[in-house]
């Protein structure tokens, strides 16, 4: 009977650990999403800058 009560008393600790892992996983996924979005914005900016450069050179 002692083993069962130890498992039951560990329940909140296991739940807290799982919540912590979910939070850390969400933070990692959030950072990856942010980095991908920043990289795509940088590539879009480079594309717009190149297009403007071509337009400016064509007008000369």
Which pTM does this prediction carry? 0.65
Q: Which residues of 35-45 are buried (b: 16+ CB within 10 A; e: fewer)?
A: eeeeeeeeeee
CA dist 23 and 36 (Å) reads: 20
- Which has more confidence, 5 or 44? 44
Q: What is the pLDDT of residues 15-44, one digit of tens each?
A: 899 999 999 999 999 999 999 999 999 999
CA dist 48 and 60 (Å) reads: 19
CA dist 52 and 59 (Å) reads: 11
- Between the alpha carbon of residue 46 and those of residues 13, 21, 35, 53, the distances in Å are 49, 37, 16, 10
- Please give the structure tokens belonging to residue 32: 């990856």
Task: Indicate if the pLDDT at residue 60 is higher than 80.
Answer: no
């Amino acid at each position: 009977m002692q083993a069962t009560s130890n498992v039951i008393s560990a329940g909140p600790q296991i739940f807290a650990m799982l919540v912590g892992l979910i939070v850390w996983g969400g933070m990692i996924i959030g950072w990856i999403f942010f980095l991908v979005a920043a990289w795509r914005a940088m590539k879009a900016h480079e594309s717009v800058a190149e297009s403007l450069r071509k337009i400016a050179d064509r007008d000369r």
